Amino acid sequence: MLCWLRLNDVRLDDVLSEVEELKGEMVQTLRELVRIPAIAPENGGEGELRKAELLMRVLEKIGFDRIERYDAEDGRVPSKVRPNIVAYRYGEDLERKLWIITHMDVVPPGDASSWTVTRPFEPVVKDGRVYGRGSEDNGQALVASIYALKALKDLGMKTKRTIALAFVADEEQESRYGIRYLIDRGLFGKDDLIVVPDGGNEDGSFIQVAEKSRLWFRVRTRGKQVHASTPEKGLNAHRIGMRCALALDKLLHEKYSKRDDLFDPPGSTFEPTKKEGNVDAINIIPGEDMLYFDCRVLPEYSLDDVLNDAQRVAEEFEEESGAEIAVETLIKNEAPAPTPVDSEVVSLLRETIKRCRGIKPKTGGIGGGTCAAYFREAGIPAVVWSTVDETAHQANEYARIESLVGDSKVFALLALS
């Protein structure tokens, strides 16, 4: 028989011990998930379907009260859909929910030679860590949320609120086929509590309540392709593109240089990142060059101003060089208002962490983009929290098993709050 218990009535040791008993299952499930690439079509991948199918089997075996799948149509992937899964554990209150939002998709592995512990999608356990692409981002939190509720189910504990776990697609790109798709379908109430465990620090002492604005743009330079032995007959798009990018990099860092200690790091960042291939042989001067900027901008600045400055620099280099230079916007997300630090979700999470770990977490903002921003944009307070060594997007990415189990304990106690 299920019994509803408030957190103050629960024997803390019983919950923590039950979660600890599930450690082996957690590690095994994480390894199974890491084996399946779930890469977006923008990066040459096939999407999340295979991982979603495995996840459905895991959830069905545990026995949630309701499991639903929401497929967003996407003709770019073989399955033609980007799946999103929601699993419910009913509480006394069937209307108001506590949500834990994680994502299934991962970034590409990058340079294979940089992976020295294992291959990206061949997970190994070593030194108390699970290595593999997607192990930390976002497999650790995804698995931790599932087994937190399994522990409560095994103990026969029913929560006050209904607990809902959402496993979404497309987070590493624009979330168009993921959390934005679910928000547009009205799954979330204004009074729901939203936790997004997709960022944090090594001891779990940081609750993220704000994000910077995010801007991705491409600088496309068109010149004239010729043989490398006769450069005077062509127009080297690669050289012009590099010079333009360096000038733009310098301008943006100098002009948008204010600092806000709410955020970590405290300043805006403007990073040239991806570089497209241009020619197939060394003895060809390229006629086209494409490179990308990832910008995380303090909310006090306008992204339109940043884009206007980029366009102005491009026009100056066009006039000087004779090349055609276009600045093309890929993602433009103005930062929504922060989650109030005195909101219920912040208070509940802060008290749960304090009770579980004996630490008082601080609140602040980050430059990384998460699903939380879309909730804040919709007027629903959301927080980001987890315990991570911040190896996401790196070679030799890993999830620390101690953090995997520890975060599951926090989620279990939070569900009982």
pLDDT at res. 12: 84
Supply the DSSP string of 323-390, one letter for each residue: -EEEEEEEEEEPPPPPPPTTSHHHHHHHHHHHHHHS---EEEEESS--THHHHHHTT--EEE--B---
- What CATH number labels 213-333? 3.30.70.360
Q: What is the pLDDT of residues 306-353, one digit of tens each?
A: 999 999 999 999 999 999 999 999 999 999 999 999 999 999 999 999
Read off the pTM. 0.86
State the pairing for strand pair 157-158/226-227: unpaired
Helices (H) and strands (E) in the chain, counts: 10, 20
Ranges under pLDDT 50 in the chain: 1-8
Q: What does the alpha-carbon distance between residue 398 and residue 139 come to, in Å, rounded to a whole number?
A: 10
List phi, psi (to 5°) of 215.
-140, 125
Give the pLDDT confidence score for residue 5 in this predicted structure: 40
Active site residues: 105, 171
Domains in the chain: boundaries: 3-211+335-415, 213-333
Fold of 3-211+335-415: Aminopeptidase (3.40.630)
Tens of pLDDT, residue by residue over 191-221, are 999 999 999 999 999 999 999 999 999 999 9
Pairing of strands 81-89, 124-126: unpaired
| Longest alpha-carbon distance in the chain | 84
Q: What is d(CA 133, CA 120) in angstroms, rounded to the nearest whole number?
A: 5
